[in-house]
Each structure stands twice: as structure tokens, then as C-alpha cells.
Amino acid sequence: MRLLALLAVAVLVALPFVVGSYVVTVLIFIFFYAYLGQAWNIVGGYAGQLSAGHAAFVGIGGYAAALLSAHAGLSPWIGMWIGGALAALLGAVIGYLGFRFGLRGFYFVLLTVAFAEICRVVALNVDAVGGALGLYITFTGNPRQFQFQDNRAYYYVALVLMLASTALVRSIERHRFGAYLTAIRQDEGACEALGVDTLRVKMQAMILSSFLTGVGGTFYAFYLFSLQPNAVFGIPLSVEIIIRPIVGGAGTVMGPILGSFILSPLAEISRTYFAQGGWNGAHLIVYGLLLIAVVLFLPQGAYPALLRLARRRP
């Protein structure tokens, strides 16, 4: 298994020298969304606390880094950690309010959505952060400003993000923290009865998850060169973040990666196929049907299904 993983990584490292810029871009987004999905996976997959407001952390991280870069000349390489910390702060607030007040399941989902929407409306109306116009980053291609003239440099950054987050989640899974998270997802009451401080564990998961997502926000800002409240705090981005780990298998190490490698290329192929025609929206119908199909036929997610398939082979 380890040999397979190393081989896969080697292929990914070599790929940009073989394929064109378009495929590189598609892969960049596959890696980036896998990273965000992995970050979500910690609190949403393993701990089972479904957050549908993770876009808020992307937004806060991105805005913080962009503002610090524009107004204080602070390199985003440093700004990204500050952005992550601020996102973690919001995560702590949301987590505390949610967990302390005993919000489970759908109620917690809605709490996270409410906070993300509040961030969005505030960002839309506060001129200091750009209002509805948003923030625009000048394209300089200067690596010190977390920008690269060559698309492939972004590829490697995104690849590192994905691999590092996956290694982190794998490590969590193998240690006690991961066991606590899984136990809490399965039966929180029993955990508490056994003396586990579930509030503390859940808070740790939430803070870690939101921190990592906030760091991702900086990548978003300096790859797409603009931050707009509706795009970066909005529900559609939160949805994009969570569907990959869910499709791949929430609470598994490879889930977000597999989900991303399934969904992104299919979305690309579907959109390209329908691009020249007149049926605008057909590609999204296909995408929606795909999500439905995954739920019906792979109800535990793609990765667990793959494992089961592998085990059946003699």
C-alpha cells in the first residue's frame, strides 16, 4: 500500500512536465478542494459535526491575508498564518456556541450557515474590506507575494497542501484524538459516560479544521486574484467544500482526495461536453444526478466501497 502511495505521489510530481496548463489548472483545483475537504473532514467527517459554513473560514483567511498584503505590505507567506488564526478564532466561537449549547445534527448545520451568511452580509456592507466590490490583487507574479508567473508553481503548492493535510489526518486517525473523534460521532452520550471531555475534543477539532481552512483562504485569494463576499463566503462554496469528502467517504483518510478526483474531472468533462451547445445548465443537471447516484449506490462513500471491492479480490 505504501509503495502504491509513493508511486502515486511520484506521478503527481512529474505530471506538470508532461501535461498542458489546462490540465495543470484542473489538478490545482482538485488538490485545493481536496485540501479544504480534508480540513473539513476533521470536524465534519471524523467528529461528525456537519458544518455547512466552512466558506466563512476561507473568506476570513483570504481577506485577512489580502488586506495585510495590500495595506501593511505583509507577505502572504506570513499573512496566511494570521488568516488561519483569525479563522480559528471564529471557529472557536461557533464551536463553543454550538457545542456548549448542545446543538446536534441539523441544528449545528444551520448555526454554521447562519455565521457564514452573517460574514457575507457584513463583508458586503463594510467599505473598509471592499464592500460588494471586494478586494482585487494585482498580478505581479512575484513569489514573495505568494504569486507565481508559472502555473506549475501553484500546482506544487496545492499538492503540498493536499499531501500535508492528508498526512495530518492520517496521523490523527492513528492517535487517541482520532479515536475520540470517531467515538463522539458514533455515540457522544457513551463517550461522556466514559469520562471523555467531549466539549474539549470537539472544540479542538473545530479549531484545527477552521485554522487549516483559513490558511487555504490565502491560496484562494492569491490564485484567483479577487475576493468577493458572495463568492468567498457564500453557500455554494461551502457546498463545494463538503461534497468531495462526503462523496469520497466522510471520516476516511482518502475520502476527500478520492471525492475530489471523482467530482472535479467529471464536472470538467460534463461542462466541456455541453459547452458549444445551447442547453445552458445541462452540465449541472448531470452533476446533480451524479451526486444522487453516489448517494444511492455508494452510501458509505467511494473510498469504503473501493476498500470493500479490494477485499473481495482473492
Partner 1 sequence: MSSRNKDTNRRTFLKAAGAAAGATALAGFPAVLRAQAPTFKVGVVHPMTGPLAEPGQACRLGAQMAADAINAAGGIKGLGGAKLELIFGDTQTKPEVGRTEAERVITQGAQMLMGSFDSGSTAAMVPVAQQRRVPFLVDIAAADPITANVAKSVREGQQKVQYVYRNFPTGSSFGRKAVQYFGEVFKEAHVSPKRVVLMYCNDLFGQNNAKGFQAAHAAAKPSWEIVDVIPWPEPPQDLSTEVSRAKAAKPDIIAPITRPASAQLLLPEIRKQRLDIMGIVGPGSPGLYEAGQIAVLKEDLEYVMASTPWANFKNPRTQKVAEDYLKRSGGKTFDTNSGYSYDGMSLIADILERAKSTDPDTIVESMRKTNYANGLMQYAGPIVFDEIGDNPNAVTTMIQILGQKAVAVWPKEAALQKFVFPRPKR
Partner 2 sequence: MDPTLIGQGLLSGFLFGGVYSLMAVGLTLIFGVMRVVNFAHGDMMVWGMYLAWMLSVRAGIDPYVGFVVCAVALFLLGLVVQRGLVERIVDAPHEMQILLMLGVALVLENAALVTFGPDPARVRSPLSQATVWLGPIFVDLARLLTFGLAMALTGALWLFLARTDLGRSMRAAADNPYGARVIGTDVRKVYGAAFGVGAACVGAAGALVSPILPFQPTSGLGLSVTSFNIVIIGGMGSLPGAFVGGILVSVAESMGAVFLSPSMKELVSFGLLIAILLFRPAGLFGKTAG
Question: One symbol per residue from 130 to 169: x for binding partner 2 (CB under 8 A), - otherwise; what is it?
Answer: ----------------------------------------
Contact status: 44 vs partner 2 (CB under 8 A): yes
Task: By CB under 8 A, tell whether 226 contacts partner 1.
Answer: yes
Least distance in Å: CB of 253 to partner 2?
A: 16
Q: What is the DSSP string of 98-138?
A: HHHTT--HHHHHHHHHHHHHHHHHHHHH-GGGTGGG-EE--
Helix (H) or strand (E) holding 96: helix 76-100
Q: Does 111 bind partner 2 (CB under 8 A)?
A: yes
Question: Which stretch in 77-85, 88-96, 105-113, 144-152 sits in contact with partner 1 by CB under 8 A?
Answer: 144-152
Hey, what long-range contacts does 128-132 have (CB within 8 A, 24 or more apart)?
129/63, 129/67, 130/227, 132/228, 132/229, 132/230
Residue selected from 19, 118, 133, 167 as contacting partner 2 according to rule CB under 8 A: 118
First to last CA, the chain: 16
Binding mask 207-246 for partner 2 (x = CB under 8 A): ----------------------------xx--x--xx--x
**Nearest residue (CB) to partner 2, 16 versus 259:** 259
Q: Check residue 189 for interaction with partner 2 (CB under 8 A).
A: no
Compute, in degrees rounded to 10, the torsion defined by CA atoms 273, 248, 232, 156.
-80
In the window 86-105, what residues touch partner 2 (CB under 8 A)?
97, 101-105
Q: 11-50 mask for partner 1 (x: CB under 8 A)?
A: ---------xxxx-xx--x---------------------
Q: What's the length of the chain? A: 314
CB atoms within 10 A of CB 34: 30
56 is a contact residue toward partner 2 (CB under 8 A): no
Q: Residue 3, CB half-sphere, CA atoms under 13 Å: how many?
A: 0
Judge whether 8 and 166 are in contact, CB under 8 Å: no
For residue 136, the cross-strand partners are 226
Distances (CA, A) of 178 to 43, 292, 312: 10, 29, 27
Residues that bind partner 2 (CB under 8 A): 44-45, 48, 50, 52, 97, 101-107, 109-111, 113-115, 117-118, 121-122, 124-125, 235-236, 239, 242-243, 246-247, 250, 279-282, 284-285, 287-292, 294-296, 299-300
